[in-house]
Structure 1
Amino acid sequence: MKLVGLSPYWFDVVEGNAVQNTIEMESLFLLTGPNGGGKSSLLRSICAAALLGICGFMVPAESALIPHFDSIMLHMKSFDSPADGKSSFQVEMSEMRSIVNRVTERSLVLIDEICRGTETAKGTCIAGSIIEALDKVGCLGIVSTHLHGIFNLPLDTKNIVYKAMGTVSAEGRTVPTWKLISGICRESLAFETAKNEGISEAIIQRAEDLYLSNYAKEGISGKETTDLNFFVSYHPSLNGNGTGKFNLKSNGVMIKADQPKTETTSKTGVLWKKLEGAITAICQKKLIEFHKDKNTLKPAEIQCVLIDTRENPPPSTIGASSVYVILRPDGKFYVGQTDDLEGRVHSHRLKEGMRDAAFLYLMVPGKSLACQLETLLINRLPDHGFQLTNVADGKHRNFGTANLLSDNVTVCS
């Protein structure tokens, strides 16, 4: 199915208040995105377009190629049914049973926020199992979710495509674009949404404190949390099994929080851990000197973050300086720096053979420092056994000094 310039049918495109999307669907999409990001609207729009198309009517899109589906199944929010003695989750499971039992490879299945009516852990596993069943059948469709733990499950799927609703940074805030993009979005904007809907600042602040105390217990207690203005972000781990870890940041100090201790068995995971160790060893001294010169707290830990295959950088990287390393399909590495990590990741993945490339990055305070660390890594990672494709960049005039014996690095232009 291909829909070009699809718009929500309840908006007038002529007035310019409709955000159009292009959908090329050959399998099942697993859709993530923030609250208010347009997931439900997209599902409704696709459902309406498919129904209108197979009936021979005009479709709210610039062009459309729609198969003749044998069934179109849409599941939105479930409500309880007291007359039947069923809770909202029971109603949802009843509808899921109907979908799974009737779906064929010629069906269109659209499920909005699957398994949100029960506790997270078991709901995530039920959702994962349903997704496996739909993937096995080979139907077209979209399953949207806020259950980000689903990406840590060892799902047996072959055709699932990860899609997300995009976000941008505007005036210091992360806001949705309502545009469909490739990848995974782990940002819910839950606190921002609650605040925008009139929830008091005191309740929002208390919610943030509870969030921190529940998911990041190390080094924080009571009043210190509020005074230090901590925030928490989720990152995929480097241990090869998808388990996440939480980190705290306050005034430049990175603190590693509790995380499950699992043994790394993946060869790729071991390689990423080795790379993380090398980056830490190379960059630590330079970062300490930088914070000392700026009279700020030195970083307690260098925070390397993995952008796994098909994932996109989190919204927190928008407009921020970062240094990144790519593991190429040929086994070699590439080092770069940028103020637009999402754009750079997209650009690299457009190159031949780089579609599934993974990235390891660290955010730094400013482009000048990013250039210096880029030069250090290009010049010194080979000493740690990593073969780079852009070694010559370490000697280029725009990349600073090539003197490996000196700790002073010239700022790039």
Structure 2
Amino acid sequence: MKILSLTNSPLDPSLGSGKTVLRWSQGLRDLGHEVEVYEPKDFQVLQGMRRGWKFRTAWGAWQFFKEKVRPQDYDLIEFYGDEFWLILRHLSSQKNRPLLVAHTNGLELLATERERKYNPPQSLRDRAYLEFAKQIHDRFSHIAFVNADVFVSICERDRHYMLDSGLYPREKTASIMPGLDVEYLSIPFTPERAHRVAYVGSWTQRKGLGQLCTVMGNLLSKYPNLTFDLYGTNTSPEIVIANFPSAIQKQITIHPRLPTQKIAEGLAKAKVFFFPSQYEGFGMAVAEAMACGCAAVTTPTGFGADLEDGEDALICDFEDIPAMERAIETLLNDEDLRSKIARNGYQRVQDLRWDLAVSKLERIYLDWLNVDSPRSNCPDTPA
């Protein structure tokens, strides 16, 4: 296959979306396919501006595509993100064109729906912007997905959302979970743990910071011997620690940016991993923590929505702070339950390997090209 990939995420391996695009692309190359990947810095216009990201990405990608890309040179074009609606709308009506794939690391349609629940408009200006977004961004996002031939997500939750929306028939959708880094998969399971709770993730509202700070503030106050480790916040420690009462701040460790191996070693010391995210395309942090032997407490989004409550993890509703607090406290105090959930979770993620994921993606792409290729169905295509 010859594949062109356009992504709305920088190809930065320290970012979840950037890492997955890099891994998919390199994995397909390793299997003998040609893959070209372009990121925002290659096409986005007016890159110094802070506003209008989606418009600048959409227009820049369209101009780049018209000037630099010959669609007929590719068997398949992947679009990571809904900003490529101009290209998709143009190509979908063309004959003798590549297969068009909406390959998401996070489904904007569902992410936006969730954001409007956990972050409702507070002011007249907010409400005005919401109406603007519904009329403009939501429509463009819908155009992007309705004009793709097939859809690939990295979790079943996003795939089912698209099926329920009626945008694709089941046979033109797939969900393929990404792989974990070897540093996490190489951690042996050890039931003996320190009295620690861990969190890995950026310090943004989407991660459920209100729930995180309230729950951990209560538990740290109740258990003076409990330690809370935070990794990957990408925010100054002063800003993070200010969200907790001064009396418990000595129980909190905010780790600087660390290599993957060090994060894995840190997680391997914790009893519980707490991740109250409001939306995830997958939620790699949960799977990584489970691979390190943590018992996870999380929400029904991304990978968390695929887990069995009470067996693989403890799953709490997005706003249910009392349930989150009870879940963590139960795991800290009930060694048998914690050990069972931690072991089940550990075993659940052992097959999350990049070689298996890429091989599955390759098989699905080849099947779609054999059955659904616009070229093979086009009467004007020469034999």
TM-score scaled to structure 2, two decimals?
0.32
> Relative CO higher for 1 or 2, CA cutoff 8 Å, sep ≥ 6?
2
**Structure whose CA Rg is larger:** 1
| Larger strand proportion of the pair | 1
